[in-house]
Amino acid sequence: MSKKYEILIVDDVSENIKVAISILKNDAYNFSYALNGQQAIEILKTKRFDLLLLDVMMPGLDGFQLAKMIKKTPAIKDTPIIFLTAKVDIESIEKGFNIGAVDYVTKPFHPVELKSRVANHLELYRYRRELKRDNVKLANEIGVVKSRHYTDLELAQKEIIYMLSEIMESDSGETACHVKRVARISQKLGALEGNLSEHEVEVLHLAAPLHDIGKILVDNSILHKADKLTDEEFEHMKEHTAYAIKILKNSQREIIKAARIIAYEHHEHFDGNGYPRGLRGESIHIFSRIVAIADVLDALTHKRSYKEAWSFEKAAKYIIERKGTQFDPRLIEIFKMNLEVFKEIIEEEECSE
């Protein structure tokens, strides 16, 4: 099924919102709305959109002021804005484009014009995002060629890690795609964290796929159980963190040592209520705190034998609500400010289930 476009309409007159939705009604569009600028800000904190339709003349925070705030917010500054307004003077039109709007449509709406302009800008935004993604991918590929100087042994080590991860995930009833996405999410969050070096981020990227390596020693009847685990079964499942230590204990390689830490600690909670040791706060390794978020995000947004897939928005809300309890509050703030980045990783089609 093709991806739906998310559109936010902001207007203090509800009738105008109804008219716009009626004109634009399309199976490919999902609509959200706000009756003032402040409501729009609250919505934009937790949800990302492909297009924003803003009225200009609103009480309190007007459309121009709201657009300026959006353009100053890194996570959403590239979202296209179309002003829908009765202000037709040349100064207002010029001001709208100077702020960064992609279009300016005057009321009353002409249905054909509004539908065409919205469709065109949604398509342009999709192409821009695809081009940006392709450029990042190309830059990464060039970076691999130019700056990575892995020896044959190091390359072999990387391949072995992925092969072992795929075997482990297949045996646990999950997918090879899961470990790759967890690695990608961890790598991106590690880079955004700001305190890890480029080398440390790469170590995190390579070690993250082994976060659940201990599950290969957990009984298959528990791993593949479709119903909720009993207390006794859950206690047995929790042992996979200790099993990971047994599996990885003899290696002194940097990546394997990092994987050992992650596998042992990624179920610890920031408030000390996790397992296996009840570690609290920064006593949990930064790698483990990062992978904890990545693992939960991917697990929630993909189907498993015991659950259906959640939407990205529902999963993100779940994670953000556990800021300071299950997850590192500083990492959650970084996650919250970059939701679109992580949504793109979750929705990538290159690794099919």
User: Catalytic residue positions?
Assistant: 215
Q: What is the sign of the dihedral through the CA atoms of 239, 240, 243 and 244?
A: negative
Residue that is written with structure tokens 């189907």 in the block? 303
Show the tokens assigned to 139: 């830059």
Contact 40, 10 (CB under 8 A): yes
- How many CB atoms sit inside 10 A of residue 158's CB? 15
Residue 328 has a CB neighbour count (10 Å cut-off) of: 23
Q: What is the DSSP letter of 86?
A: S
Q: Give the C-alpha separation, 181 to 178, whole Å.
A: 5
Residues 259 and 207: beta-carbon distance below 8 Å: yes
Distance, in Å, from the CA atom of 326 to the CA atom of 319, rounded to the nearest integer, reads 8
User: What torsion do the CA atoms of 67, 69, 71, 77 make, to the nearest 10 degrees?
Assistant: -100
